[in-house]
Amino acid sequence: QSVLTQPPSVSAAPGQKVTISCSGSSSNIGRNFVSWYEQLPGTAPKLLIYDNNKRPSGIPDRFSASKSGTSATLGITGLQTGDEADYYCGTWDSSLSAWVFGGGTKLTVL
Amino acid sequence: EVQLVESGGGLVQPGGSLRLSCAASGFSFSTHEMNWVRQAPGKGLEWVSYISSSGNTIYYADSVKGRFTISRDNAKNSLYLQMKSLSPEDTAIYYCAREETLAVGGSDTFDVWGQGTMVTVS
């Protein structure tokens, strides 16, 4: 049981848009910045979004994110088959003194 | 090139011990906080342990507290995870990850990950 809650899976057609939610609490998302990670099949996770909505260099602007209260959302537009991956939200939990992740969301581009 | 390379994984019997290593290169290792994150087969990411740049501050997930010990050798640009009393539930790919604050006024994130090393307890 993950501290952060994500939908297990989402799907959309190529070229469409999808959003992935991440729900937490006042001790984690509510008071700390959120990051998002992309894990392509068989590879290590890669940083996609940091500080709630910032993209590292090299990440296309098709990827965006936001945070409101104790929830965060990742958005991907112009879906490509290469976007098929598992996506994880993560943040620091101030009560647990621990990094916490969501359970991950598998994106399928139909 | 900024790089993290884990090693030391393998097959170990329940109750056994294993020591993982993570070799860092391409950046100033001694100024960065580091973490271990694991992923059981077919499961999500689970944070395991954190160590500050100096090694003075350490945190563990409850699932490994008392059994795992994180450490670092800044002179050797290396991070370690000593694991003991291993159980099948510890079977996972273990990743080391660098913590970094990427923006002024921002917070830490895991911006560099190794390729992982597989630990199988059976």
B40 has a chain A CB within 8 A of its CB = no
Q: With an 8 Å Cβ cutoff, are B110 and A92 in contact?
A: no
pLDDT at B104 over 90: no
B105 vs A81, residue with greater confidence: A81
| Residues from A in contact with B at Cβ < 8 Å | 2, 32-33, 35, 37, 39, 44-47, 50-51, 54, 56, 86, 88, 90, 92, 97-104
> For the sheet containing B78-83, what is the strand order?
B3-7, B18-25, B78-83, B68-73
Residue of B nearest to A90 (CA): B109
Rounded alpha-carbon distances, angstroms, from residue B31 to B60, B72, B74, B98, B103: 20, 12, 9, 10, 16
Q: State residue B116's pLDDT score.
A: 98
Residue of A nearest to B116 (CA): A44
Q: State residue B31's pLDDT score.
A: 95
pLDDT at B102 over 90: no
Q: State residue A46's pLDDT score.
A: 98
Closest CA to B113 of A107, A78, A90, A102: A90
Element (H, E) at B117: strand B117-121
Choose among A47, A92, A101: nearest Cβ to B44: A101
pLDDT at A88 over 90: yes
Q: With an 8 Å Cβ cutoff, are A33 and B109 in contact?
A: yes
Q: With an 8 Å Cβ cutoff, are B106 and A33 in contact?
A: yes
pLDDT at B107 over 90: no
Going by the DSSP 8-state scheme, the letter that residue B42 receives in this structure is: T
Reading phi first (left if > 0) and then psi (alpha if -120 to 50, else beta), residue A30 is in alpha
Choose among B35, B44, B110: nearest Cβ to A47: B110
Shortest distance between the Cα of B119 and any Cα of chain A, in A, equals: 15
Q: With an 8 Å Cβ cutoff, are A37 and B114 in contact?
A: no
Average of per-residue pLDDT across B111-116: 98
pLDDT confidence tier of residue B103, bands split at 50, 70 and 90: confident
Q: With an 8 Å Cβ cutoff, are B59 and A97 in contact?
A: yes
Percent of chain B with pLDDT over 90: 93
